Structure 1
Amino acid sequence: MSKTGANFGGTVGWDEQTVIGKRAPRPGELKSESAIAAAQRAGVAIDTSKKYEAGHNKQHEAAKNTAVLDRETEELHHDRVNTDVARAIQQARNAKEWTQADLARHINEKQQVVNEYEQSKAIPNQQVLSKMERALGVKLRGKDIGQPFSTGPKKK
């Protein structure tokens, strides 16, 4: 033992090298045609099987209700914005003398979104409708569509 009390084993000789951070060479995958051909010329055993869906997290079990969905004959579609809502958006925007681009800038959306809502082509999004209500000051949801949006406290 040395004076510091550290024991380093004493098995390392002068001729041996310790390399830190260097990995030992290992046989890699041959992906290119030229690498496969070179390995065949060298006489190396090659396995060229394809691993299907390797690296994908997929379930192997079919969904439980696939038979029910296959028997389904009803046409399914998304609801679109009501024409009353589209008309209320147009009227409130015109009352403020805003273009579609102006309204889009106020609600932080694209002009195309405003255009789809005014043409009743958009799938209703409650967040977008809420932003439009606040910007235009008009109710766009519920039973009072087109009525002024009251911002004050509720009366009892």
Structure 2
Amino acid sequence: MSGIGPITQDWEPVVIRKKGPNAAAKKDEKAVNAARRSGAEIDTLKKSNAGTNKAASSSTSLNTRKLDEESENLSHERVSTELKKNIMQARINKKLTQAQLAQLINEKPQVIQEYESGKAIPNQQIITKLERVLGVKLRGKK
């Protein structure tokens, strides 16, 4: 093995430089400034969603248009006037407070209050409990 010297490693640091992220913007800026100096007419445009992860605005405008065109009035079914009067009358006949009635059917007093004020969304299970405790048929014909 004559002619081959000892193997050595080169430990010199190697520095690799990348161009900064604004290099392209600086070139554009230089071109715009040069054009301004020469007296040329320049049109600049700012892109509002450029480089972001936002969806195109066309899809949101379609949804907005659909909502605007929607004329149907959507709301939940509420307790009927007849039902709320029947509950109140039966409770008073049994000499119960709203809180006592709520305790008997294992519900919060607020539930009875909402039913008697007509704000509640009718729940057949609660109405059945009320009928059983009050001993009165609240739905349909008496």
Which of the two has greater helix per residue? Answer: 2
Q: Deviations over 1:24-77 (max 9, x none)?
A: xxxxxxxxxxxxxxxxxxxxxxxxxxxx9xxxxxxxxxxxxx79x644311100
Q: Deviations over 1:94-136 (max 9, x none)?
A: 1110000110011000000000000111010111111001111
| Unaligned residue ranges in structure 2 (runs of 5+) | 1-52, 54-62
1:1-156 aligned within 5 A: 70=67, 71-142=69-140, 144=141, 147=142
Q: Which has the larger radius of gyration?
A: 2
Q: Which runs of 4 or more aligned residues in structure 1 lie more than 6 Å from their structure 2 counterparts after TM superposition? A: none
What is the one-letter code of the residue matched to 1:77?
S
> How much is the aligned-residue C-alpha RMSD, in angstroms?
2.2
Amino-acid identity (%): 54
TM-score normalised to structure 2 length:
0.51
CA distance in 1, matches of 2:75, 2:89: 28
CA distance in 2, matches of 1:139, 1:91: 12
TM-score normalised to structure 1 length:
0.47
| Secondary structure at 1:122 match in 2 | coil
- Structure with the larger RCO, 1 or 2 (CA within 8 Å, 6+ apart): 2
| Secondary structure at 2:129 match in 1 | helix
Deviation at 1:137, TM superposition (A): 1.0
| Secondary structure at 1:132 match in 2 | helix
CA distance in 1, matches of 2:130, 2:70: 37
Aligned residues: 81
